[in-house]
Amino acid sequence: MRRPRPARQLPIPPPDPAAPTPLYVQLVDSIEDGIRHGRLQVGQRLPAERDLASDLGVSRTTVTGAYQELEARGLLRGHVGRGTIVVGTPAGTPAGASRAAVAWPQRVSAMANQAAQVWFGIPRSRPDAIALDSGWPDPKLYPVEALESLLGELVGTSSAELYAGAPPAGDPVLREVLAGWLAARGIRTEPDSVLITTGALQGLNVVARALLAPGDVVITESPTFQCALMAWRWAGAEVVGVPVDRDGIEVDALEEALARHRPKLLYLIPTFHNPTGAVTSRERRRTVLELAARFRVPIVESDLYGALHFEDPPPPPLAALDDAGLVIYQGSFSKIAVPGLRVGWLAAPRGAMAPLTAAKGYVDLSTGELAQRLVAAFLESPHRERHLAFLRAECRARRDQMVAALRQYCPGLGFRVPPGGYYLWAELPAPITTDELLPSAAEHGVTIRPGPEFAPDGGLDDHVRLCFAALEPRRITEGIRRLASALARAGERLESRPRRTSLAAASVV
């Protein structure tokens, strides 16, 4: 057997097989110590798992476990095939965390590890970081006064009924209010075709439980909302992406994908798409419905941002054009008012209601009744339209601020001006990728969402998603200035990187 030796590319000792601590934990400790004491630098690329394992004389699983644990701690970030990079420093790591008796990274499912990376993987090495990676509205925009006054009325006049809990499908008052509001937007639906979910995200997981089995295929736009990707994959489905351009999903490519993959579900965000901001044209909406009918594929239409248009109102939702009972329509209170009440909704064709309601019931019985009644009171009050008008104006001003700041400070970034919603999708100047940009952004105190998170089929590491809804205009400008510095730094690093032969090549010889 080959004797282990210190890693030639990493200034760390080989783990000791005779020590009582698991090998991967020793490796975690050594790498963390290296980062803490500056022997490993933020931005430094670590050897591929295979190479490090061979160099240290340990199994690849040991290195994988160590990298995963360090990723979960926000210290490393890895992409398959493109290596692992130091992205954070260990401040705040709970003392002795690596001494756990259970090797958690090796115990949890691959999906949970992947989810942890999306959730915790954005490096934030500065406490004053400006969060351009957000997906929420700025709390200063919440309709707090209106909600507080409605809550006062609700609690003041309520009975025990308020505390008994709602049926799984949702509170009847809210279902009725929503059916009325959706009808006003052209979606013909009855209260008993509305299902209340604990946020739209739960709606996706409920749909997955009701409609998908392991091995099924789901077609989405590419890119698409990263948590939807996780919801479909966690149900065991394979996700196939179809590109989006200015006019939404490319319908020829969609037709080809439908014929080839025979999917069980089509998940689309036709209006102010997350992350690109694209709006699917009316003509393409009709084609999408025709194709779905021809291939007999249900559509989940996510319409969380449709009310937030900055110019002309967008075309009607797919659900309003659907006369074949194909579309499960989705909305949420999170993006039009506040995210913390966790109230979302699905409006489904009749045949889909029973399985969806059963799935919802098994997930959490029902969404909190108090939150549902408060949302119902808000949506049927004049506050709704007043607040939507206010939010549109605010988001538009913030979009304009971001666009102006990008043009001034980041002329090398490519983007289209989004006509509504929360997000701007930006293309990085070549050859910078998110692998280089993320650590630099952390150093410069700005956070962004990397393109690969939104990619159904890999790639997109030359894009980032920026959110303009979450910050005051002044902070947006400062965030973009920091982004410009981070881009410059990432570019410098790329230029100064020595072209080295890989460790694998060196150690094989």
Residues in contact with ligand PLP by CB under 6 A are 135, 199-201, 225, 269, 274, 302, 304, 332, 334, 339, 344
Distance of CA 192 to the CA centre of its chain: 30
Name the residue nearer to ligand PLP (CB basis): 302 or 434: 302
Residue 401: φ, ψ to 5°: -65, -45
The nearest distance, CB 276 to ligand PLP, in angstroms, is: 12
Name the residue nearer to ligand PLP (CB basis): 7 or 201: 201
Q: Strands, DSSP E only, in 205-279?
A: 217-222, 238-245, 248-249, 265-268
- Rounded (10°) angle between helices 282-295 and 251-261: 10
The nearest distance, CB 189 to ligand PLP, in angstroms, is: 19
Beta carbons of 6 and 14 less than 8 angstroms apart: yes
Per-residue DSSP letter, 266: E
Beta carbons of 159 and 315 less than 8 angstroms apart: no
Beta carbons of 450 and 433 less than 8 angstroms apart: no
Residue 330: φ, ψ to 5°: -130, 135
SS3 state at 71? helix
The nearest distance, CB 37 to ligand PLP, in angstroms, is: 38
Name the residue nearer to ligand PLP (CB basis): 274 or 357: 274
Beta carbons of 424 and 468 less than 8 angstroms apart: yes
Name the residue nearer to ligand PLP (CB basis): 125 or 334: 334
The nearest distance, CB 304 to ligand PLP, in angstroms, is: 5
Query: Which stretches of 251-382 are DSSP H helices?
Result: 251-261, 282-295, 318-321, 350-364, 369-379
Name the residue nearer to ligand PLP (CB basis): 206 or 289: 206
Residue number with the smallest Cβ distance to ligand PLP? 199
The nearest distance, CB 290 to ligand PLP, in angstroms, is: 24
CA pair distance 501, 164, nearest whole angstrom: 67
Name the residue nearer to ligand PLP (CB basis): 267 or 415: 267
Name the residue nearer to ligand PLP (CB basis): 231 or 432: 231
Distance of CA 456 to the CA centre of its chain: 12
The nearest distance, CB 344 to ligand PLP, in angstroms, is: 4
The string of DSSP letters for 381-450 reads STHHHHHHHHHHHHHHHHHHHHHHHHHHH-TT-EE---SBSSEEEEEPPTT--HHHHHHHHHHTTEE-EE
Bridge partners (DSSP) of residue 46 are: 84
Bridge partners (DSSP) of residue 222 are: 243
The nearest distance, CB 152 to ligand PLP, in angstroms, is: 25
Name the residue nearer to ligand PLP (CB basis): 200 or 487: 200
The nearest distance, CB 423 to ligand PLP, in angstroms, is: 8
Name the residue nearer to ligand PLP (CB basis): 254 or 467: 467
The nearest distance, CB 133 to ligand PLP, in angstroms, is: 11
